[in-house]
Amino acid sequence: MRSNGIHHVTAIAGPARRNLDFYTRVLGLRLVKKTVNFDDPGTYHFYYGDEAGQPGTILTFFPWAHVAPGRLGSGETQETVFRVPEGAIGYWVQRFVEKGVPHQAVEQRFGETVLAFKDPDGMRLALVAVPGIGNEPGWAGGDVPAEHAIRGFHSVSLLLEDTAATGAILDDVLGFKEIGREGAMVRYRAGDTAIGGIVDLQAAGGALPSRPGAGSVHHIAFRAADDAAQAEMVKRLADNHRLITTEQKDRAYFRSVYFREPGRVLFEIATDIPGFAVDEPADTLGRALKLPRFLEPHRAEIERVLPDVA
């Protein structure tokens, strides 16, 4: 079976402890992996997700204490959207009021009920009420009761000068099809993928280019079932779109290639395998600092420079 849809979203945050508090306590996500940025091992890499850390539920951050705020603009992800059960929006509005989380009035988009809000770095997020998902597993190990818990990603939206060029990549390579339009927004869906199955492309209309910083999405990763499926997508990118990816990088929990799509957003294609239980038991995910084998000899030094988040 093909697996398509969003695999994970990676963003840039300010102080690590504030990021950890917001996503695990306020949003009630599970910290499924505490590791470092493999390309910059003095920086944490936090992975938040559902109980099992399934593809399509994973939001990850590189927290840098002193990073300047980003400026939202074209060529960038605008909003990262989670699914919640249909009856949960009222709970979340009240929770955001109590916790002082900046949010907007509940609105309708594509016939769905949406609650937009921001994290402490100003990253734009939203919850969408989805009927019939109350029985899907959430994470009830945090402060949010299971009945209201987040059930993975609904979608991401990208702001682009030319939505057609990016749409062609979604359609021809990443397993998505256009399913609707509303205003300047074109919606793409990955078959019957329920979690992380939607990408919205919005025409920028002359917006300034983005400037990355705290609160910015760094890249969007799309799913490939395994290495063979990934290789096929890499070949289609080269043959049909003249886009050359990086070589495959081993990210321990998945294997990835990266490319900049025509709208300048950094895309990744990540394998579903091996997953987050490859180096620690599923029931204690995220508790210990995990390092890839090549960094293990430097553990003492790395632990010394990482900020204290305990």
**Using CB under 5 A, which of the segments 8-16, 132-140, 181-189, 204-212 binds Zn ion?**
8-16
**Is 88 within 8 Å of 129 (Cβ atoms)?**
yes
**Is 299 within 8 Å of 291 (Cβ atoms)?**
yes
Residues linked to residue 128 through DSSP beta bridges, in sequence order: 83, 114
Where in 210-229 is the site for Zn ion (CB under 5 A)?
221
Q: Which is nearer to Zn ion, 241 or 249 (CB)?
A: 249
Q: Write down the least CB distance from residue 275 to Zn ion, Å.
A: 14
**Using CB under 5 A, which of the segments 142-150, 232-240, 262-270, 291-299 binds Zn ion?**
262-270
**Using CB under 5 A, which of the segments 10-18, 39-47, 70-78, 86-94 binds Zn ion?**
10-18
Q: Which is nearer to Zn ion, 59 or 159 (CB)?
A: 59
Q: Which is nearer to Zn ion, 88 or 271 (CB)?
A: 271
Joined together, the tokens standing for residue 231 give 């290789």
**Using CB under 5 A, which of the segments 150-158, 227-235, 261-269, 284-292 binds Zn ion?**
261-269
Binding status of residue 261 toward Zn ion by CB under 5 A: no
Q: Which is nearer to Zn ion, 10 or 210 (CB)?
A: 10
Residue 88 DSSP code: G
Q: Which is nearer to Zn ion, 150 or 221 (CB)?
A: 221
**Is 218 within 8 Å of 68 (Cβ atoms)?**
no
> What residue has token string 């995220």?
286
Q: Which is nearer to Zn ion, 54 or 84 (CB)?
A: 54
Residue type, 161: E
Joined together, the tokens standing for residue 94 give 């009240």
Where in 268-307 is the site for Zn ion (CB under 5 A)?
268
Neighbours of 188 (CB within 10 A): 22
Neighbours of 192 (CB within 10 A): 8
d(CA 188, CA 178): 4
Instruction: Rule CB under 5 A: choose which of 10, 24, 54, 210 binds Zn ion.
Output: 10
Q: Which is nearer to Zn ion, 221 or 224 (CB)?
A: 221
Q: Write down the least CB distance from residue 25 to Zn ion, Å.
A: 24
- Enumerate helices (H) and strands (E) in the chain, giving the number of each: 5, 16
d(CA 302, CA 310): 16
Q: Write down the least CB distance from residue 122 to Zn ion, Å.
A: 21
**Using CB under 5 A, which of the segments 4-12, 104-112, 231-239, 299-307 binds Zn ion?**
4-12
**Count residues contacting Zn ion (CB under 5 A)?**
3
Contacts of 130 (CB under 8 A, 6+ apart): 83, 84, 85, 86, 112, 151, 154
- Contact positions toward Zn ion, by CB under 5 A? 10, 221, 268
